[in-house]
Chain A
């Protein structure tokens, strides 16, 4: 059974600081996704990582994937208040059936303080 674990689950940080959110998963997969959710809102796609060593960057966020370590990271550079949200990683349930089912981590709630 595929399990996806994020840490930390809650992160309070000062503006201007750097930090990393970790996403570990338990079985083989080569597709990983990051989403952002603002309070009371839906989920918005941030990054799609489709191979070992994939790195994607958008503004102050950078995501990477190491399929051998079964680990993805979401790095935040010089955080600003607008980045306050909950971030989810999700892993494709790799198997013989091409269903696109995703297993989500618990989410990391990021709070950026002035």
Chain B
């Protein structure tokens, strides 16, 4: 079974530029998550989708970050404009969405973003 796919793996941009990340979840998984992991910290949830609807985006900085999950499968996360403090690894995860709080989330390899 293929895992969660993410691209690109690495991205370097200058501040005020825009950037987009792509995620393809495990086939059949209804729930998709985007996390931000700053160096030396644990991942922090940015947004959670159930199929193509948003369940939780309370920690998403909506003035610069946006995310969508068209057709309930792939998802993109965009940052516009980027700030220095956005330098982090952006992780995508998916879960079946059938077991509630006991569901296991499977993580992709992440995209390492450096903002100069």
**A and B: bona fide binding partners:** no
**Which residue numbers of A lie inside 8 Å of B, CB to CB?**
none
